[in-house]
Amino acid sequence: GAGVSQSPRYKVAKRGQDVALRCDPISGHVSLFWYQQALGQGPEFLTYFQNEAQLDKSGLPSDRFFAERPEGSVSTLKIQRTQQEDSAVYLCASSLVGAYSNQPQHFGDGTRLSIL
Amino acid sequence: QKEVEQDPGPLSVPEGAIVSLNCTYSNSAFQYFMWYRQYSRKGPELLMYTYSSGNKEDGRFTAQVDKSSKYISLFIRDSQPSDSATYLCAGSSGGYQKVTFGIGTKLQVIP
């Protein structure tokens, strides 16, 4: 497809389980971002990749959160030992070029994660 | 204090009205300003993207940025029921474009 694709769209997990969320960016987009959007809030930055390099992970809330983009295309956000406060929509965005550019970000529809 | 402040609404207007949505920001390093529209259970969709101060018009939408007062506005003319959504304002200092969002304003256009 032409847009950013995320899977699964919905994920329910029990507290303490590990989850993996997938993002397929727009083809050819160098930059990839993960955001967390809590209910009634705006998206909050988690981490940024330029190709396969993770250049900024300052927004990851704890060491239970891990992201990778090994081949510079598809990215996976992994959350270990999930907690109820991890319940949120996880959004992925991509943009055409890398650092020191001004290309806007295009978002996927997100994965809605619910921790029971 | 959040870097981008936005009234969450909700804001209800009749069809055909002019809508004014506003945000303030505190980060002087912001150079790029965006408005995203988000429908329920969908991702944010880019509406307007502007650099520095000034106005930008696209169809029924006009974005204004006043860096001196750190004020961002979006105007929607001839509002339609399909404009009912949450509108997110955002700013970025450029570089690798880490974007900081407001909380979003929920807009309802009543037929």
Residue among B90, B94, B103 minimizing CB distance to A41: B103
A100 touches chain B (CB under 8 A): yes
Q: Is the dihedral of CA A93, A97, A100, A102 positive or negative?
A: negative
A50 touches chain B (CB under 8 A): yes
Q: What average pLDDT does the segment B82-89 reach?
A: 97
Q: What is the per-residue burial (b if ≥16 Cβ within 10 Å, else e) of B52-62?
A: eeeeeeeeebb
Instruction: Report helix, strand or coil for B82.
Output: helix
**Residue at token pair 């940025």:** B65
d(CA A77, CA A69): 9
Q: What average pLDDT does the segment A37-56 reach?
A: 94
Q: How confident is the model at residue A32 (pLDDT cuts 50, 70, 90)?
A: very high
Mean pLDDT value across chain A: 93
Q: What average pLDDT does the segment A82-106 reach?
A: 85
Q: What is the per-residue pLDDT for B97? A: 67
d(CA A35, CA B83): 24
Q: How confident is the model at residue A99 (pLDDT cuts 50, 70, 90)?
A: low
Q: What is the per-residue pLDDT for A2? A: 79
- The nearest CA of chain B is from the CA of A1 a distance in Å of 16
Residue-wise pLDDT for B35-71, tens only, equals 999 999 999 999 998 888 889 999 999 999 999 999 9
Q: What is the per-residue pLDDT for B95? A: 58
- The nearest CA of chain B is from the CA of A37 a distance in Å of 10
Q: How confident is the model at residue B93 (pLDDT cuts 50, 70, 90)?
A: confident
Q: What is the per-residue pLDDT for B51? A: 86
Query: Which positions in chain A touch B44 (Cβ < 8 Å)?
Result: 43, 91, 107
Q: What is the per-residue pLDDT for A100? A: 56
Q: What is the per-residue pLDDT for B18? A: 97
Q: What average pLDDT does the segment A3-32 reach?
A: 96
Interface of A with B in 30-49 (CB under 8 A): 31, 33, 40-45, 48
Q: What is the per-residue pLDDT for A102? A: 67
Q: What is the per-residue pLDDT for A105? A: 87
Instruction: Report helix, strand or coil for B81.
Output: helix
Q: What average pLDDT does the segment A23-45 reach?
A: 94
